[in-house]
Amino acid sequence: MKRANVNRIITVTPNPAIDMTYTVQGITEGSSHRVPTPLSRAGGKGINVARVTHQLGYPVLAIAPTGGAAGQTLAAELWTSGVPHALVGVAAETRRSIALVDTVAGETSIFNEEGQALLPDDWRSLRIAVVEAVSGNRNLPASVLVGSGSLPPGAPADFYPELVRLAHDAGIPAIIDTSGPGIIAAAKAGADILKPNHHELAEATGETSLEAAALALIDMGARMVLVSAGADGMLAFDHAAPGGYWSARLPEALSGNPTGAGDAGVAAAAVALAEGVTEPREILRRATAWSAAAVLMPAAGEISPRYQELQDQLIVTWKETR
C-alpha cells in the first residue's frame, strides 16, 4: 500500500550490518547450545528505519556503504525484501550483528561487530549519494533525512552534523539517532529530532538526571529530543516548551524482542514529519506505539499490525521540569 501525498524519506546508515537473530529456549553459560537457523537480514539502524517505513507503505530510500561478501548478502536481501536502496560500494567488509533472544529468561543479548574503517573516497561517495537523494531528484523529492546508527572507526567527526546541514540546505528536517560524541555534534548542528535512549543520553552528556541531559541537548541547539526509557516508555523534550516534557507509556510493559524498537520509533517520527506533523505530543504518541509494536516482532525492522491499537492504549502526560 503506497501512501499518497507523502514525499520520500531518506535514511543513511554509515555502519550497516547483516543482522542475525537467534531465538533460544534458555542459555547456560559455558555450555553448547543447539539452535534453529537464525533469521538473517540486512540491518543497521537506518536500514531498520527504512524497512519499517516501507512495511507501512511510505516512500523511502535506504543509503548505506557495503563491501565484501557480507555486503553482497546485504544487497541481495534488500532486493528480495523490496526495500528501495542506494548502496555505495566500498572495500571494507560489511559487519555482522548477532541477537540472542532467550525466550525463557525473557532477555535479548546483542553482539555488534565494530565495523571496518572506510577510505576518504568512500565517505565522499556516500556524501554524493545523500546529496543526490535529498536534492537531485525532482520526480522523487525528499521530505525527511534520517541519519542513524554507529560510525565505523575513523569516521569524520562531522558526519552527522553534515547530514543536518545537507537536510537544512534542501529545506527538509533531519532526524539523528546515534551515540557518543555524535549526539552532541548533531545537537550543536541543530538537528530537528535527536533520538537517544536513556543510557546513550547519560553517556553522551555526563548528566545523571535524564531531564537535565535532554535539556542540555536542547540548549546546545537540538529542536526536539525523544528519549527511549525502556519499560517506562518514551519522553519528548521540545525547544519551544522548556518548562516541561511529554511522557508516553503503555499501562503494562510488553514482553518480546526489543531489538529495533528505537528504530521503529525513529520511523514513526520521520513519517510524522513527512506528513507535516510537528506537534511533539503527537510525534511522541506515534513513536512510542511503533516502538512497542516492534517489540512484538521476532526481529528488528518490522512492527506488529497492532501499532494503532497500542497507540490508543498509551498513557500520555505532561510533566513539569524540576
Does 177 participate in catalysis according to the annotation? no
CATH number of 8-320: 3.40.1190.20
Global pTM value: 0.93
For 190, other C-beta atoms within 10 Å of its C-beta total 17
Dump pLDDT digits (tens) for 19-49.
888 888 888 888 887 887 887 889 999 999 9
Backbone dihedral region of 256: left (phi > 0), alpha (psi from -120 to 50 degrees) or beta?
left
Interval 310-318 mean pLDDT: 95
Confidence of residue 3 (pLDDT cuts 50, 70, 90): low
Q: What CA–CA distance (Å, rounded) separates 291 from 294? A: 5
Of the candidate ranges 41-50, 112-121, 133-142, 296-305, the one whose mean pLDDT is the lowest: 133-142
Q: Is a pLDDT exceeding 80 seen at residue 1?
A: no
Dump pLDDT digits (tens) for 132-156.
999 867 778 999 999 999 999 999 9
Dump pLDDT digits (tens) for 223-242.
999 999 877 789 999 999 98
- Which three cell numbers, joined as nine digits, stand for 113? 561487530
Q: What CA–CA distance (Å, rounded) separates 26 from 200? A: 28
Q: What CA–CA distance (Å, rounded) separates 89 from 153? A: 17
Q: Give the side-chain half-sphere CA count within 13 A for 164.
A: 23
The identity of residue 7, as a single letter, is N
**pLDDT value at residue 4:** 54
**Per the residue annotation, which of 19, 122, 177, 263 is the catalytic one?**
263
Are β-strands 142-148 and 8-12 bridged in parallel, bridged antiparallel, or unpaired?
parallel
Interval 83-89 mean pLDDT: 97
Q: Is a pLDDT exceeding 70 seen at residue 173?
A: yes
Reported in sequence order, the residue ranges of 67-141 that DSSP labels E, i.e. its strands, are 85-89, 95-102, 107-112
Q: What CA–CA distance (Å, rounded) separates 318 from 222? A: 20
Confidence of residue 94 (pLDDT cuts 50, 70, 90): very high
For residue 150, the surrounding DSSP H or E stretch is none
User: What value does the mean pLDDT of the chain take?
Assistant: 92
Q: Is a pLDDT exceeding 90 seen at residue 111?
A: no
Answer with the residue of higher pLDDT: 99 or 149: 149
> If you write DSSP's letter for every residue of 172-197 in order, what string do you get?
--EEEE--THHHHHHHHTT-SEE--B
**pLDDT value at residue 70:** 94
Domain boundaries, the chain: 8-320
**pLDDT value at residue 2:** 54
Q: How far is CA 58 from the centre of its chain?
A: 16
Q: Is a pLDDT exceeding 80 seen at residue 71?
A: yes
Percent of the chain with pLDDT over 90: 74
Confidence of residue 298 (pLDDT cuts 50, 70, 90): confident
